[in-house]
C-alpha cells in the first residue's frame, strides 16, 4: 500500500468547497488537512507521492448509475465490454458505474446476477455495482428482491415501455413497489407508455414512415409525462420510493416537481443527450439520424432548457448517461427501412463529467451542484455514501483532479469508447480530467491511462440514503 498526498487543491462537495490537502493511504482517504499546517507537512513528508493540485478542483470520483455494457439486444450486444467501458469511464473521471443486470424472462434474478458478475469480474478498470432489471414480476422474483439486498443489489428497474420484452403491467409494478416499500429498496422506472407507443409505431410503419425521425414522432413527450405521473401514483399507493431513469421531457419534469413538493420519495435523473441535443439530430442525412435513436427519444428544442433548470432547482437529482453504445456500421444499420429495429442507445459514459461541468461554465449550475449531481447524490441514492461520492476521511480514495479552465472538443477520433461515432461530435466543453485515482491507485495520470482491467471491484450497495 502506498501513501499519496493530493495537495494544494480545492476539495469540492455538494455542500461547499474547502482548500485542503487530501491524504490517501492504500485504498482509503485517511485525512483532510488544512494546507500549511504541521500535520500537512508531516503528511507530505510521509507520502510516497504528492500530486500538485494547485489551481485545480479535487472531486470525488464520478458515479454513473446508468450504464449498459455488453447488453444483449436483438442478436447483437452493446459494443463496450466492461473493460472498454470502464476504461472510457476512467478517462472521463468516472470511477464507479452501476450497470443493469437483466433477468431473462422465465429465468431468475439470481441467474441474471451471476451472469453479470461473470461478465464484469476481472475485467473492470474501476469499481462497479449492479441494479437488477426485473423482467417478470412474480412470486419467485418478488422473493428474490429480498435476497438480492444481501447481494448488494438494492435497486430494481421496471419498464412501462417495451411490451413483450421488459414491460410490466401496472399490477406487477404495484406488487414490486409494495415489496420495495417493505424492504427499503428503490424502484427505478423507465416511464413511457409502451402500449400506446406500440400502436403509434405500427401506424407509422403502416404508412411507410420508416426513417429514424419517426422514432421520435411515435414516442411523444405526453406519453412520458403520463407514465411518470402513473408511476408516482402507484408508488403512492404502495408507499414506495421511485426513481425515474433518463427523464427527457418537460411534461415528466413537471410531474416529478409536483410529487417532490408534495414530499414524496421521488427522484429523477436526466442524461447529457437530453440536455444538449434536439430531435433535429434524428433528421440527419441518409441514415445518420439512427445515431441519435434512444428511448425516450431526443426531444424537440425547449425541453433541454427546462431540464437544465430542473437540475439547478433540484427537481432532478442525478445526471447519468444511459450509456448503451451501438456502432453505426452493422449495428444501428439493422434498422435501415424500419426505425423500430434500430438498436436503442447512445455512447456517453466517457463525457458525462465534462458535459455537465460545461453547464457550470455556462452559468447553469454551481461547481458544488455539479459534484452533487455526478457523485454525491448518486452515492446517497444508491447506498454507497460515504464510501463513494465524497472526499472525506474513511472514504474510498476515488479522486479526480480536475482542471476547471481547460477546454476540449469531443470527437470519436479521440474518445476511448468502443464505438464508431460520438453523439457529441465537435462539442466543446470546459473542464478536463487531469488525474484519476480509484481506491488509491492511479488510473489516469498525466494524460495517460495507467490502470488495468481487474482493478475494479464489485460494490455491495446498501439502501437509499435520501429517503424521507
Q: Which of residues 352-371 bind a second copy (CB under 8 A)?
A: 365-366
Stretch that binds a second copy, among 65-73, 305-313, 326-334, 432-440 (CB under 8 A): 305-313
CA torsion sign for 371, 376, 381, 384 is positive
Binding-residue pattern over the window 253 to 272 for a second copy, x denoting contact by CB under 8 A: ----x--xx-x---------
CA R_g for the chain: 21
Closer CB to a second copy, 122 or 171, in the complex: 171
Q: Which residues are 129's β-sheet partners? A: 98
Task: Determine what percent of the chain falls in helix, strand and coil, rounding each to the nearest 5.
Answer: 35, 25, 40
Using CB under 8 A, which of 280, 288, 314, 333 touches a second copy? 314
Q: Count the residues of the shown chain that bind a second copy, applying the rule CB under 8 A.
A: 72
The per-type count for the chain, helices as H runs and strands as E runs, is: 14, 21
For a second copy, the closer CB: 14 or 145: 14
In the window 15-44, what residues touch a second copy (CB under 8 A)?
A: 15-21, 23, 25, 28-35, 37-40, 42-43
CB of 58 to a second copy, least distance (A): 12
Among 61, 62, 85, 220, which residue interacts with a second copy (rule: CB under 8 A)? 220
CB of 36 to a second copy, least distance (A): 9
16/337 with CB nearer a second copy: 16
**In the set 134, 148, 376, 433, which binds a second copy (CB under 8 A)?**
376
Kindly tell me which residue out of 44, 115, 181, 200 binds a second copy, with binding defined by CB under 8 A.
Answer: 200
**CA of 25: how far to CAs of 21, 29, 41, 389, 436, in Å?**
13, 6, 16, 18, 15
For residue 395, state whether it binds a second copy (rule: CB under 8 A).
yes
* Alpha carbon distance 10, 371 (integer Å): 13
* Least Cβ distance, residue 31 to a second copy (angstroms): 5
The enclosing H or E element of 52 equals strand 49-52
Q: How far apart are CA 259 and CA 241, in angstroms?
A: 11
Q: How many CB atoms lie within 10 A of CB 46?
A: 11
Applying CB under 8 A, the span of 181-189, 227-235, 321-329, 422-430 interacting with a second copy comes to 227-235
Of 386 and 451, which has the nearer Cβ to a second copy?
A: 386
- Residue in 95, 154, 193, 464 binding a second copy, rule: CB under 8 A: 193
| Contact stretch for a second copy (CB under 8 A) within 119-127, 151-159, 182-190, 229-237 | 229-237
Beta carbon nearer to a second copy, 121 or 368? 368
Nearest approach, Cβ of residue 387 and a second copy (Å): 10
Chain residues 118-177 in contact with a second copy, contact rule CB under 8 A: 169-171, 173-175
SS3 (DSSP) at 418: coil
> And the C-alpha cell for 243?
426513481
From CA 414, how far away is CA 455, in angstroms rounded? 24
- 385 counts as binding a second copy under rule CB under 8 A: yes
Q: Supply angle C-alpha 306, 311, 316, rounded to 5.
A: 100
Strands ordered across the beta sheet of 428-438: 17-19, 10-12, 57-60, 399-409, 428-438, 441-445, 448-449
CB of 151 to a second copy, least distance (A): 24
| 399 touches a second copy by CB under 8 A | no
Kindly provide the residue ranges of all beta strands, DSSP E only, lying in 68-213, ordered along the sequence: 72-73, 76-77, 94-102, 127-133, 155-159, 186-190
52 binds a second copy (CB under 8 A): no
Sign of dihedral through CA atoms 255, 257, 260, 262? negative
Range in contact with a second copy (rule: CB under 8 A) among 140-148, 196-204, 339-347, 419-427: 196-204
Pick from 44, 115, 181, 196: which binds a second copy (CB under 8 A)? Answer: 196
Nearer to a second copy among residue 14 and residue 423 (C-beta): 14
Place of cell 488495468: 452
Q: Which of 44, 195, 361, 463 binds a second copy (CB under 8 A)?
A: 195
Confirm or reject binding of residue 229 to a second copy (CB under 8 A). Answer: yes
Q: State the burial class of residue 78 (Cβ atoms within 10 Å of its Cβ: 0-12, 13-18, 19+).
A: buried
Q: Three cell numbers at 403?
A: 482542471
Amino acid at each position: 500500500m502506498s501513501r499519496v498526498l493530493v495537495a494544494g487543491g480545492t476539495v469540492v462537495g455538494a455542500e461547499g468547497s474547502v482548500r485542503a490537502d487530501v491524504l490517501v493511504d492504500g485504498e482509503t482517504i485517511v485525512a483532510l488537512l488544512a494546507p500549511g499546517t504541521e500535520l500537512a507537512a508531516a503528511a507530505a513528508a510521509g507520502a510516497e507521492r504528492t500530486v500538485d493540485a494547485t489551481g485545480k478542483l479535487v472531486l470525488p470520483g464520478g458515479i454513473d448509475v446508468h450504464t449498459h455494457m455488453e447488453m444483449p439486444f436483438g442478436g447483437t450486444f452493446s459494443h463496450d465490454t466492461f473493460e472498454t467501458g470502464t476504461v472510457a469511464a476512467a478517462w472521463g473521471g468516472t470511477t464507479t458505474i452501476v450497470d443493469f443486470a437483466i433477468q431473462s424472462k422465465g429465468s431468475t434474478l439470481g441467474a441474471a446476477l451471476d451472469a453479470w458478475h461473470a461478465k464484469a469480474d476481472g475485467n473492470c478498470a474501476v469499481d462497479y455495482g449492479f441494479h437488477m432489471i426485473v423482467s417478470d414480476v412474480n412470486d419467485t422474483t418478488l422473493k428474490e428482491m429480498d435476497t438480492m439486498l444481501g447481494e448488494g443489489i438494492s435497486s430494481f428497474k421496471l419498464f412501462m415501455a417495451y411490451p413483450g420484452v421488459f414491460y410490466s403491467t401496472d399490477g406487477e409494478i404495484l406488487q414490486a413497489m409494495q415489496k420495495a416499500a417493505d424492504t427499503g429498496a428503490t424502484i427505478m422506472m423507465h416511464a413511457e407508455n409502451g402500449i400506446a407507443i406500440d400502436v403509434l409505431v405500427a401506424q407509422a410503419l403502416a404508412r411507410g414512415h420508416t426513417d429514424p425521425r419517426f422514432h421520435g414522432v411515435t414516442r411523444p413527450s405526453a406519453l412520458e409525462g403520463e407514465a411518470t405521473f402513473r408511476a408516482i401514483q402507484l408508488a403512492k399507493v404502495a408507499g414506495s420510493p421511485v426513481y425515474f431513469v433518463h427523464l427527457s421531457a418537460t411534461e415528466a419534469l413537471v410531474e416529478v416537481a409536483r410529487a417532490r413538493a408534495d414530499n414524496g420519495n421521488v427522484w429523477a435523473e436526466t442524461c447529457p443527450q437530453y440536455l444538449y441535443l434536439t430531435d433535429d439530430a434524428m433528421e440527419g442525412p441518409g441514415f445518420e439520424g439512427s445515431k441519435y435513436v434512444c428511448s425516450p427519444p431526443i426531444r424537440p428544442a425547449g425541453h433541454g432548457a427546462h431540464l437544465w433548470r430542473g437540475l439547478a432547482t433540484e427537481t432532478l437529482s442525478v445526471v447519468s448517461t444511459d450509456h448503451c453504445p451501438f456502432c453505426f456500421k452493422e449495428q444501428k444499420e439493422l434498422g435501415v427501412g424500419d426505425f423500430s429495429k434500430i438498436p436503442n442507445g447512445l455512447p456517453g459514459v466517457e463525457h458525462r463529467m465534462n458535459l455537465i461541468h460545461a453547464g457550470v461554465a455556462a452559468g447553469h449550475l454551481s461547481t458544488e451542484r455539479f459534484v452533487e449531481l455526478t457523485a454525491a447524490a448518486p452515492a446517497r441514492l444508491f447506498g454507497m455514501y460515504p464510501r463513494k461520492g465524497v472526499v472525506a476521511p474513511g472514504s474510498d480514495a476515488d479522486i479526480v483532479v480536475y482542471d476547471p479552465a481547460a477546454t476540449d472538443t469531443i470527437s470519436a477520433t479521440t474518445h476511448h469508447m468502443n464505438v464508431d461515432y460520438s453523439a457529441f461530435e465537435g462539442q466543446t466543453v470546459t473542464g478536463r480530467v487531469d488525474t484519476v485515482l480509484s481506491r488509491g491507485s492511479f488510473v489516469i495520470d498525466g494524460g495517460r491511462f495507467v490502470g488495468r482491467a481487474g482493478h475494479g471491484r464489485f460494490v455491495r450497495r446498501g439502501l437509499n440514503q435520501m429517503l424521507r
